[in-house]
Amino acid sequence: MKSQLTRSQNIVLKLLKQLNREISAQELYVELRKANLSLGLATIYRALDALKLHGAIQARLLSNGETLYTTAQQDRHHLTCLQCGTSIPIQDEDCPVHALEEQLQQSGKFEIFYHTLEFFGLCSPCRLEQSHSNS
């Protein structure tokens, strides 16, 4: 796959591997500038889209519309607070989606790189704050 990637895609992928965490395109832009690897934001978005289509990275859309990118090719499961935006990872041992994923993969109609499962609601601090403001 490496030979198929452009220079900017290789730069973005290398930095994502080094950071080894979820990061937004804007944060990636800042990190690249810190490393004296100036790429325009539009170029970064194009590189991220291409890497996503190659299956080299995964993306997770947050409730605020922001997308986070990572190279970790694993299923992701989160509890996300709609008020403060906190996103808490949860363990995936008992994920009910794995059986469906295997069934879809075996049908041969779709190549699955990963899946995400996200629950949206209010975290404890926001729920407490909301109950105090309603009193």
Helices (H), the chain: 7-19, 25-34, 41-54, 97-107, 124-133
pLDDT digits (tens, 9 = 90+) for 2-61: 458 899 999 999 999 999 888 999 999 999 999 998 899 999 999 999 999 888 898 888
Instruction: For the chain, give every domain's residue range.
Output: 1-71, 74-135
CATH 1.10.10.10 fits 1-71, yes or no: yes
Residue type, 117: L
- Which fold is adopted by the domain 74-135? Dna Ligase; domain 1 (3.30.1490)
Taking the whole predicted model, whether its pTM rises above 0.75 is answered as no
Phi first, then psi: give them for residue 77, nearest 5 degrees.
-135, 130
For the segment 60-82, the average pLDDT, to the nearest whole number, is: 82
Per-residue pLDDT band at 77 (split at 50, 70, 90): confident
Q: Which residues, other chains included, contact 125 with Cβ-Cβ below 8 Å and sequence gap of 6+?
A: 84
